């Protein structure tokens, strides 16, 4: 049943809604419309026996009447923000932000503080942030503008949780990367927010999606053919929009490929709403010329590369009043574009694919990408802006081992490819990025009584000394590798570089086995440091054998190596 008083007008469209009575939100233009609604609800109650709960009903004056003190209908008219579908609304934007973001931020802080008390590895903390932490803010950030200070607070909170301290050990733009670039696949809140809003624009452009919110968006933008506008090289300065829509459109514009350097880019240059084609510094749009077939730059020229006269456009349906628009567009075509068209117009194909982006080595249409693809794109863009000085651990190791030929991609991926225990991965990540809590570091900050190694008690305990340089540890490695060499009947030796970063020789099977031995060996050495116990081959044999017994039942690609190493350890135990 449709009543005129409760119809919603958006521009020249009338939106008629069918809804459930339970938990509905209605917008009315005057008190008479409100009375009519209550009459409808009364009639409904007579038929169904269900009544509106006046005690739970709230009202808020909006628009020009927002300061009205009248409280009709016997319902509540609170001065605090009201909640609709999980979102708080108020005339006071700060009060609304406090309810929408600050309260959720407080809950997130409490939850992360609870998880912080658990003995989680860095991978575990990243998982908590991505699956539990940010999910608390996903809904509200999907439908509201996120203030900059809120964005900053959320990012600080989640990264402090990941590192367990306010001091971040590795740059965020590196931590956000994939494993092969030294990252942990972390994602900051601002990147999540940006990806979500871009997908919202893509959803608007999807012709298969039909919804009321599209009409609202079109009404607010006040642009003829908004779909064409968003696909062009438009100017955001021409729009006066609420913050949410402004954010979405600006994010959308920034992601679109706009550099015209090759033919494909030129083919995709729409002339309408394009900042390269302006009249008095404003973009243009002409519906008649568009219907006559003038879409992109190539439409201005014939198959021989010559400019089509305006008479041809008049024959297609243009009017004399369209001449100035046509001439302004023609005059705006850059000389280098004209040269490209005149030189080889036959090789151009008329195609309109204005929503393409480059993800990795692939060019995709924005309509086909996922939020995950967008997040990866933004993370990679930030990574490209880093310079050599940002990779401090790489520079340190290159200087330490006097080489610049190390395969850092393989080094970063090593613990993720050969292992399935997070504590091993956690330690290796700390070693590679050089933030292990050695005695030398702890002594500097007053957390240790001596900077010296606790095994040899002779030299300062650096990362290199702790895991290889100490004569007790070095003796452990030599004995372990010697026994493995005898077991496989091969001559194998390891250096400090092999132990700290990665062992890589010609035999892939031995490489895999030795790297597993080394990774577990380093974890054993570090545990001995924490427990203040002896680093011995006998103790390691028992430690590693217990780990292998657990891993042999795990379905992983290194199962063959684990079975082989179990045989090796059993052979050691017999000896």
Q: DSSP per residue over 65-84, as a string?
A: GTT-----TT-B--SSPEEE
C-alpha 73: how far from its chain's center? Answer: 47
- Strand positions, DSSP E, 322-423: 356-359, 362-365
Spatial separation of the C-alpha atoms in residues 511 and 519, rounded to whole Å: 12
Tell me what percent of the chain is helix, strand and coil, each rounded to the nearest 5. Answer: 60, 5, 35
Closest CA to 367 of 194, 227, 202, 214: 202
Q: Which residues are CB-contacts of 45 (< 8 A; sequence separation ≥ 6)?
A: 51, 52
Tell me, what's the pLDDT at 495?
94
- Strand positions, DSSP E, 97-202: none
C-alpha pair distances (Å), 467 with each of 67, 291, 522, 536: 71, 73, 6, 13
H-type helices in 20-147, by residue range?
Answer: 31-48, 93-97, 103-116, 122-128, 135-143
Side-chain half-sphere CA neighbours of 49 within 13 A? 0
Map tokens 């957390």 to a residue: 447
Tell me, what's the pLDDT at 4?
39
Provide the whole-model pTM.
0.86
Spatial separation of the C-alpha atoms in residues 533 and 287, rounded to whole Å: 81
Closest CA to 77 of 65, 94, 64: 65
Tell me, what's the pLDDT at 262?
52
Spatial separation of the C-alpha atoms in residues 475 and 469, rounded to whole Å: 10
Residues 432/438/440/444 CA torsion (nearest 10 deg):
100
Tell me, what's the pLDDT at 255?
82
Instruction: State the CB neighbour count (10 A cutoff) for residue 248.
Output: 22
Sequential pLDDT tens for the chain (575 residues): 333 344 556 666 666 555 665 678 888 888 898 888 888 888 888 888 888 888 888 999 988 888 898 999 889 999 899 998 889 999 998 999 999 999 999 999 999 999 998 889 999 999 999 999 898 899 999 999 999 999 999 999 999 999 998 889 999 999 999 999 999 999 999 999 999 999 999 889 888 877 778 888 998 998 989 988 998 888 888 888 999 999 999 999 888 755 445 555 666 678 899 888 888 888 999 999 999 999 888 888 887 778 899 999 999 999 999 999 999 999 888 887 777 777 665 555 544 555 667 776 677 777 778 888 899 889 988 998 999 889 999 999 999 998 877 899 999 999 998 876 889 999 999 999 999 999 999 999 898 899 999 888 889 999 999 999 999 999 999 999 999 999 999 889 999 999 999 998 878 888 889 999 999 999 999 999 999 999 999 999 999 998 888 776 766 667 778 888 888 888 888 76
At 451-472, the pLDDT tens digits run 999 888 889 999 999 999 999 9
Tell me, what's the pLDDT at 9?
60
Interior angle at CA 363, CA 361 and CA 368, nearest 5: 125
- Strand positions, DSSP E, 319-387: 356-359, 362-365
Q: Are 351 and 265 in contact (CB under 8 A)?
A: no
Tell me, what's the pLDDT at 265?
61
Closest CA to 61 of 47, 50, 76, 48: 76
Burial of 263 (0-12, 13-18, 19+ CB in 10 A): middle
Map tokens 């900053």 to a residue: 152
Tell me, what's the pLDDT at 365?
75
Token couple for 336: 């280098």
């Amino acid at each position: 049943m449709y009543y005129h008083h409760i119809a919603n007008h958006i521009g020249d469209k009338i939106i008629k809604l069918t809804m459930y009575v339970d938990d509905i939100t209605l917008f009315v233009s005057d008190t008479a419309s409100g009375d009519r609604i209550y009459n409808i609800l009364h009639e409904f109650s007579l038929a169904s026996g269900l009544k509106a709960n006046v005690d739970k009903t709230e009202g808020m004056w909006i628009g020009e009447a927002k300061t009205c003190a009248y409280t009709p209908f016997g319902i509540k008219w609170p001065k605090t923000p009201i909640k609709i579908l999980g979102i708080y609304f108020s005339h006071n934007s700060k009060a609304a932000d406090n309810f929408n973001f600050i309260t959720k931020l407080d809950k997130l802080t409490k939850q992360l503080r609870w998880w912080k008390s658990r003995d989680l590895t860095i991978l575990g903390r990243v998982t908590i942030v991505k699956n539990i932490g940010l999910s608390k803010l996903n809904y509200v950030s999907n439908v509201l503008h996120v203030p900059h200070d809120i964005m900053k607070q959320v990012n600080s909170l989640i990264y402090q949780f990941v590192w367990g301290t306010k001091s971040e050990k590795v740059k965020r733009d590196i931590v956000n990367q994939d494993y092969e670039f030294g990252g942990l696949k972390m994602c900051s809140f601002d990147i999540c927010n940006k990806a979500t809003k871009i997908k919202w624009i893509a959803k608007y452009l999807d012709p298969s999606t039909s919804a009321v919110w599209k009409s609202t968006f079109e009404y607010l933008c006040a642009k003829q053919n908004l779909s064409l506008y968003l696909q062009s090289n438009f100017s955001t300065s021409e729009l006066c929009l609420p913050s949410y829509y402004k954010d979405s459109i600006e994010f959308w514009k920034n992601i679109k490929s706009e550099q015209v350097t090759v033919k494909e880019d030129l083919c995709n240059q729409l002339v309408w709403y394009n900042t390269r084609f302006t009249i008095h510094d404003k973009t243009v749009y002409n519906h008649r010329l568009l219907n006559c077939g003038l879409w992109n730059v190539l439409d201005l020229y014939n198959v021989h590369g010559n400019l089509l006269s305006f008479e041809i456009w008049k024959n297609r349906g243009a009017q004399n009043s369209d001449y100035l628009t046509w001439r302004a567009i023609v005059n705006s075509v850059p000389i280098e574009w004209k040269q490209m068209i005149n030189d080889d117009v036959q090789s151009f194909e008329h195609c309109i694919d204005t929503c393409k982006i480059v993800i990795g080595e692939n060019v995709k249409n924005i309509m086909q990408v996922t939020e995950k693809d967008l997040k990866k794109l933004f993370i990679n863009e930030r990574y490209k802006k880093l310079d050599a000085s940002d990779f401090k651990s790489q520079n340190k190791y290159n200087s330490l081992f006097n080489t610049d030929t190390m395969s850092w991609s393989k080094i970063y991926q090593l613990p993720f490819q050969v292992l399935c225990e997070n504590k091993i991965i956690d330690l290796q990540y700390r070693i590679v990025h050089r933030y292990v809590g050695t005695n030398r570091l702890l002594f500097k900050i007053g957390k240790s009584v001596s900077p010296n190694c606790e095994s040899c008690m002779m030299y300062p305990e650096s990362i290199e000394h702790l895991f290889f340089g100490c004569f007790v540890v070095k003796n452990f490695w030599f004995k372990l590798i010697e026994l493995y060499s005898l077991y496989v009947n091969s001559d194998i030796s390891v250096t400090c570089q092999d132990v700290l970063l990665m062992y890589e020789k010609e035999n892939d099977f031995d490489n895999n086995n030795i790297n597993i031995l080394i990774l577990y060996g380093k974890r054993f050495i570090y545990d001995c440091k924490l427990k203040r116990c002896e680093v011995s081959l006998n103790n390691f044999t028992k430690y590693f054998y217990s780990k292998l017994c657990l891993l042999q039942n795990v379905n992983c690609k290194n199962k063959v190596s684990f079975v082989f190493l179990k045989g090796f350890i059993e052979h050691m135990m017999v000896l």
